[in-house]
Chain A
């Protein structure tokens, strides 16, 4: 479809102009920005890979064959006795004894690319933790002997998922509140603005500290708390767009035709007010990732044991000599934020009404 449209446009640019919606033209402009477009591609690939983290980095083999029988340890819980061990406990597949069993003829185990889960403690490491990068642990281990690469992969996933959820909630709340203020204006706007001023002067960080003391810290608690305060910036932009668009002639014409408020918002004002929302998406995501990271760094974020970039930075700070922890976490963080920023820049240019498209 896309290829057909562009080849048609190339063949007869003037005589048969292909009719494109404004959103589609913005997408074409975005694609023309190679840095932004490839950032989107790389980021999407990384995100999809991290969604399948269990298949890439896990301490359980994907499939195993032992004495003529097939196992899928990644989905089933196999006791050690099944593989000739002594106890009914879940198998530790990193145990040299178990690995010896699989090395016997007829048996085999297909391990994931990186044979560690984020929680896996490598009891059989050749060096004390934190251990520097080696053939076993590509990016070394942290102070509890957990594989840094595995923790980064899972940590990246949590960060991005968290950022997506926070951005989504923030956008929905921000658009709804901004739309109400901007469209109805007057007293509604005045009341809402005062409410926002009061609400935004609440000390967010103290609330987080208090709540993390009162409640069991969890990702969802963090999401709720950050969402409560995260919608206001966007709401202001949407409000301003609505205030501007509602007095344009096409809205007045729609009123003259007798459309209801809801129809006018849905058909006319909202679609024309979403430019700042879309432009800010990547920047909001990177802000959300940074917020989660810094809260984790301060120990106010996700519960202990959760793989998180902030917690790894905290470890890197404690163990300055274990450079592989801080350096690799830093690398992942910088790459993520940079990709998002490049996307944001490209998106902003693509939606800039002053930039005509060639």
Chain B
């Protein structure tokens, strides 16, 4: 602790006189990996950004000794010398952090030219070497690629190469793997670990993912509402958490709580059944041929699945694996080839059958912020389905049904005075997701399509929403088609599971069988990445 590289004391950050970070202290020794953990809004990102004074419109007080200098007292000019050279930063979303108009080689070389004053040719050579160090294949060719030509993992590698260009002594990594697929996460994390060792730099990792912390960090600081509530080595904090909030975070791993449905329900025919389902999109073709005919992209290829009554079918896969397309095909808006039976009917059989099917299948989306119209009140949002499917209800009856649906998802008037007249912006992410569930449940569907229902939520909230879904399934005998990238969620929720990769189902079966004894390589990687 004596040889700390960065020592932060009493850091306070406020935005327009509202304090969000209330005087936090932490130290990083040279070559150490510290993780700053917390949920969204805990102030972890703002704290890191304000070290380099990159948080816009923030008033910052306190002290941050870096190498004998107080970062917070430096002039803008002096600080510019520190940024990139001594302290570098990588961001969550590489697509927006890289300039789309320059090749990645140019962007890395630019850093070297600016910070180290080397010639253009030398800088380009160094850039290629850096790309090679980060494990990008064919670094010479790739250095001339533009960000959109790279895959997500390669972009993140390129950004790491850029951050490491000047051999910084401290790397601030803001959720460096959150935007990546699970299997890539492990690779990037390993890469960061390797580079950290070979460069001997310190890393401040900002994350909400506890698996990542366990895998990567030496020490951890837990933040809640702008305070550091606990810090210490990873082993002690995770082994014997002292603070209630830390315990809550560690306990937030979803718990399996599913029961086999009652005999009568289980014997019923499957709610949804698909045989050799195929979904194709037209895509523009390159070159002159694209003028005359469209190419085709097959998003889902020959998928067989069945959602048993009263049970959950989990669909796991990475982005682009076709799992969301499969969900949308079940839901109706995307046309598909093959035989798709939902509740004994199929889409496209005229307005009346479609309407009956709509009543049987409902959906909950990932992002609770875009799935509720900001200009409607809770009553209007939740009661919307009744306007279509239960037109015979009077206004008072409708209101009763809305209140009943809200109570089922755990929102009551006692908790939120004037609940029905409120607007979505007054609710947190988890509460919004409850509203979305209530909206789907009010017309009493048999099948609920859950498209990444908890991915946008904080871990502790995630657990609560999953528990709510488990309870609703038990009480109402609902069937779920659960789309997720998170193996933990599937393990907690599903009876059966499908693993999808590049539009095809690579493995399927009961959840414990598939996840405990995976047969396919890809499933094995997925399961290992999540552990």
Contacts and interface: CB of A to CB of B under 8 A. Distances in A.
Interface stretch (A246-254, A285-293, A309-317): A246-254
Contact of B358 (A248, A257, A267, A268): A257
B389 A258 contact: yes
B385 interface: yes
Nearest to B15: A356
Nearest to B365: A249
A142 B439 CA distance: 68
Contacts of B371: 248-250, 253
A258 B363 CA distance: 12
A166 to B, nearest CB: 28
Contacts, number: 80
Contacts of A263: 387-388
Given A250-B372, A267-B373, A358-B16, A256 B363 contact: yes
B324 to A, nearest CB: 11
Given A17-B426, A19-B421, 20 more contacts: A19-B418, A19-B423, A21-B375, A21-B377, A249-B365, A249-B366, A250-B370, A252-B333, A256-B332, A256-B333, A256-B358, A256-B363, A257-B385, A258-B354, A263-B388, A268-B373, A271-B375, A272-B375, A358-B16, A358-B18
A1 interface: no
Interface string B357-388: 01101110111001111111100100011011
A78 B16 CA distance: 67
Contacts of B426: 17, 19
B466 interface: no
B365 A267 contact: no
A252 B365 contact: yes
A22 B425 contact: yes
Contacts of B366: 249
Nearest to A21: B423
A16 interface: yes
A335 interface: no
B363 A253 contact: yes
A120 to B, nearest CB: 51
Given A249-B365, A252-B333, A257 B443 contact: yes
23 contacts: A19-B422, A19-B423, A20-B423, A21-B377, A22-B423, A22-B425, A248-B370, A249-B371, A250-B373, A252-B333, A252-B363, A253-B365, A256-B331, A256-B332, A256-B333, A256-B358, A257-B385, A257-B389, A258-B359, A258-B389, A267-B384, A271-B373, A272-B375
A267 B376 contact: yes
Nearest to A254: B384
Contacts of A22: 374-375, 423, 425
Contact of B384 (A17, A249, A257): A257
Contacts of B384: 254, 257, 259, 267
Interface residues of A, number: 24
Interface string B403-443: 00000000000000110011101100000000010011001
Contact of B355 (A17, A21, A258, A268): A258
Contacts of A259: 384, 387-388
A115 B377 CA distance: 55
Interface string A17-31: 101111100000000
A257 B388 contact: yes
Contacts of B418: 19
A267 B331 CA distance: 22
A322 B360 CA distance: 80
A225 B421 CA distance: 45
Contact of B436 (A20, A21, A253, A271): A253
Contacts of A255: 333
A358 B373 CA distance: 22
A23 B332 CA distance: 34
A238 to B, nearest CB: 16
A256 to B, nearest CB: 5
Nearest to A259: B388
Nearest to A19: B422
A16 to B, nearest CB: 7
A257 B362 contact: yes
B26 to A, nearest CB: 28
B423 to A, nearest CB: 6
B354 to A, nearest CB: 7
Nearest to A256: B363
Contacts of B358: 256-258
Nearest to B366: A249
B273 to A, nearest CB: 19
Contacts of B18: 358
A160 to B, nearest CB: 30
Contacts of A252: 333, 363, 365
Which 8 residue pairs of A and B lie closest in terms of their CB atoms, listed nearest first? Answer: A249-B371, A258-B358, A249-B365, A271-B375, A257-B385, A250-B373, A258-B388, A19-B422
Given A249-B371, A250-B371, A252-B365, A16 B417 contact: yes
Nearest to B373: A250
Nearest to B381: A250
A253 B439 contact: yes
Contacts of B440: 253, 256
A256 B332 CA distance: 8
Nearest to A270: B375
A358 B418 CA distance: 21
A272 B374 contact: yes
Nearest to A253: B371
A248 B370 CA distance: 6
Contact of B367 (A16, A249, A254, A358): A249
Contacts of A23: 375
A280 to B, nearest CB: 19
